[in-house]
Amino acid sequence: MVRSLDNLTFQVEEGEVFGFLGPNGAGKTTTLKCVMGLIFPTSGTARVFGRGIDDVQMHQEIGYLPEQPYFYDYLTARELLDYFARFFGYSAAEREDRVAHFLERVQLTRFADVQLRKFSKGMLQRAGIAQAILHEPKVVFLDEPMSGLDPIGRREVRDIILELKEKGRTVFFSTHVLSDAEMLCDRVAVLAGGKLQGIGSPAEIVSIEVHGMEILCDIAAGRQLPAALAAHAVRSGNRYRIQVPEAQLYGVLDQLRDSEARILSVAALRPTLEDYFIQMVEHPKGAPPAAASAGEQP
Amino acid sequence: MMAGTVAINTFREAVRDRVLYNLIFFALAMMAAAVFVGQITIGIERLVIINLGLTAISLIGTVMAIFIGVGLVYKEMEKRTLYSLLAKPVRRWEFLVGKFAGLVLTLAVNTALMTLGLAAALFYVTRGFSRADTSILVAVYFILLELALVTALALFFSCFPTPMLSTLLTLGLFVAGQFSTALREYGHVAHNRALELLLGAIYYLLPNFHNFNAIGAVAHGDAIPGALILHNTLYAVLYITVVLLGASAIFANMDLK
């Protein structure tokens, strides 16, 4: 039996933007489906604001965008949002206002009365985001919200996430796009092989180890970079970028001073979130390699 | 409330999928039958038109109930439209009841319109209505009960991931249910106590569709006893409730892949 999720335990704080990272088959969608009550874990549970996932009232406070969403294609975007709004007990007038507002928010007003069967993937994604935030939930779960969107659409989704954060909402989103995670998230979790590989702020995650130091300097015309350093340097005109182990930093700086080099910057070399992600995916903690591509069964 | 919202959407889906187009076929068939029967029958026009009309209403309704019914849940799972819906404050059983009610509403509208067509054809052939014709409405009511029961069975099997098997099982139960009374009678004459008990048990388990067939009686102008109306109503309500409870129990713990 393949375990899609194994001993996965973490907590998302109220009001934070939380990124859920992992390769295909890592278990991101499975986790979200468990929280939504679409599938059931063999053991364990999830709670949202203290309510269990089997508590239907919990769904009053959450919004969910499934991965690659698909909706009733015989409905128009306006009808779809009106249909979903009915489950939250709004009056007809409230529904009308709310639907118009959120169609505008995802730039679908022009297509409000077009049947969804005529929508592109990106437009369906926008409709999906609108239905997820229609009732202004306290927590929004977005499964690959940038998927299928063009650069403008991605920026709009980023803006929506930031807007939700400004309003004090909690946003939990899974993504492959690490730059989005670095840009938006207060904290991220990395999942591989169904196991949690790391959790923390993007800065904490990438601060786990310092690879070395990078010195940027200019060498005056007629002067030479010490031969011992030349092997570690990349030259561009008079400018040198030198990478050295942290322990050798002061020695190298002394050599550069002797060479009358002009030091422009000294910076620690840290792995990017992408480096961390790739490292975790290639060498997940305690998981066999096959598990990373396993199916979505808990 | 939640189930009602799902039901209205299910009805809207059926209408937009042009399910009610079958009415055109039915209207044409009834018009042709009225003209044809008027020419070839003497004295039994009423009997033929009622027989033909009610049989067509029952047949078309049954085909719709089975073929739409087995896709009620399966299609939502297959297309993943359920994911967004069940993330809303909707219980799974409310979704099932809504789907059931939506299809029954569709069948009721369809049946009502076909009944109007039958009435028009009857009026054309007999040049008027008699008091006995009111019993046609009772036969139509029985057909509706039967269709609701078939819908519940189709919905139950719709929770399984193979629509072909669901169709066969629903169809099989429908056919078996037509002959369940014969099964019990066979048990009585078999002179084998074990066989009699077995067939008796099967008789009570199978849906008894035989009792819903009042077409022959109505066509012959026979009155339908009030006790039968009450019996059929209670039977249908009870059987549908049990089937929907079973479907809810299965669906409640089903993983949506």
pLDDT tens digits, B115-150: 998 999 888 888 888 888 889 999 999 999 999 999
What local confidence, expressed as pLDDT, does residue B187 receive? 80
**Arithmetic mean of pLDDT over chain B:** 90
Of A39, A66, A296, the CB nearest to B80: A66
- Identify all chain B residues contacting A132, using CB atoms and an 8 Å cutoff: 84
For the segment A3-22, what is each residue's pLDDT rounded down to a tens digit?
788 888 999 999 999 999 88
* CA pseudo-torsion sign B173, B175, B181, B182: negative
Q: With contact defined as beta carbons under 8 Å apart, do A140 and A169 qualify? A: yes
Structural domains present in chain A: 17-206+273-293 (3.40.50.300), 212-269 (3.30.1490)
Residue A298, pLDDT > 70, answer no
Of A60, A62, A70, the CB nearest to B80: A70
Quickly state the pLDDT bin for A279 (edges 50, 70, 90): confident
- Cβ separation of A87 and B256 shorter than 8 Å? no
What local confidence, expressed as pLDDT, does residue A285 receive? 61
| Total CB pairs under 8 A between chain A and B | 75
- Cβ separation of A87 and B89 shorter than 8 Å? yes
The SS3 of residue A269 is strand
Of A38, A87, A296, the CB nearest to B83: A38
- Cβ separation of B87 and A72 shorter than 8 Å? no
* CA pseudo-torsion sign A284, A298, A295, A35: negative
**Arithmetic mean of pLDDT over chain A:** 86
- Cβ separation of B9 and A72 shorter than 8 Å? yes
- Identify all chain A residues contacting B90, using CB atoms and an 8 Å cutoff: 56, 59, 87
Least confident range of A56-65, A197-206, A279-288: A279-288
For the segment B215-248, what is each residue's pLDDT rounded down to a tens digit?
989 888 888 999 999 999 999 999 999 999 999 9
The SS3 of residue A9 is coil
- Identify all chain B residues contacting A56, using CB atoms and an 8 Å cutoff: 89-91
Residue A95, pLDDT > 90, answer yes
The average pLDDT across B144-160 equals 95
Interface of chain B against chain A, CB under 8 Å?
1-2, 5, 9, 12-13, 16-17, 79-91, 253, 255-257
Instruction: Report DSSP letters for B115-174, one per residue.
Output: HHHHHHHHHHHHSS--GGGGHHHHHHHHHHHHHHHHHHHHHHHHTSS-HHHHHHHHHHHH
What local confidence, expressed as pLDDT, does residue A294 receive? 29
- Cβ separation of B13 and A37 shorter than 8 Å? no
For the segment B35-72, what is each residue's pLDDT rounded down to a tens digit?
777 677 777 888 888 888 899 999 999 999 999 999 99
- Cβ separation of B83 and A64 shorter than 8 Å? yes
Largest CA distance in chain A: 80
Q: Which residue has the higher pLDDT, B26 or B78?
A: B78
For the segment A46-89, what is each residue's pLDDT rounded down to a tens digit?
899 888 888 888 999 999 999 988 999 999 999 999 999 999 99
What is the Cα–Cα distance from B227 to B177, expressed in whole angstroms? 21
What local confidence, expressed as pLDDT, does residue B18 receive? 80
- Identify all chain B residues contacting A62, using CB atoms and an 8 Å cutoff: 87
What local confidence, expressed as pLDDT, does residue A210 receive? 66
* ∠ CA A222-A224-A225, rounded to 5°: 150
- Identify all chain B residues contacting A37, using CB atoms and an 8 Å cutoff: 86
Q: Which of B247, B86, B91, B99 is nearest to B160 (CA)?
A: B247
Q: With contact defined as beta carbons under 8 Å apart, do A58 and A49 qualify? A: yes
- Cβ separation of A36 and B87 shorter than 8 Å? yes
Q: Which of B50, B151, B134, B49 is nearest to B99 (CA)?
A: B151
* ∠ CA A101-A107-A111, rounded to 5°: 95
- Cβ separation of A74 and B88 shorter than 8 Å? no
Using a 10 angstrom Cβ sphere, with 0-12 exposed, 13-18 middle and 19 or more buried, the burial of residue A83 is buried
Of B2, B79, B253, the CB nearest to A87: B2
Q: What is the pTM of this model?
A: 0.83
Quickly state the pLDDT bin for B94 (edges 50, 70, 90): very high
- Cβ separation of B89 and A74 shorter than 8 Å? no
What local confidence, expressed as pLDDT, does residue A208 receive? 55
How far does the CA of residue A286 sit from the closest CA of chain B (Å)? 26
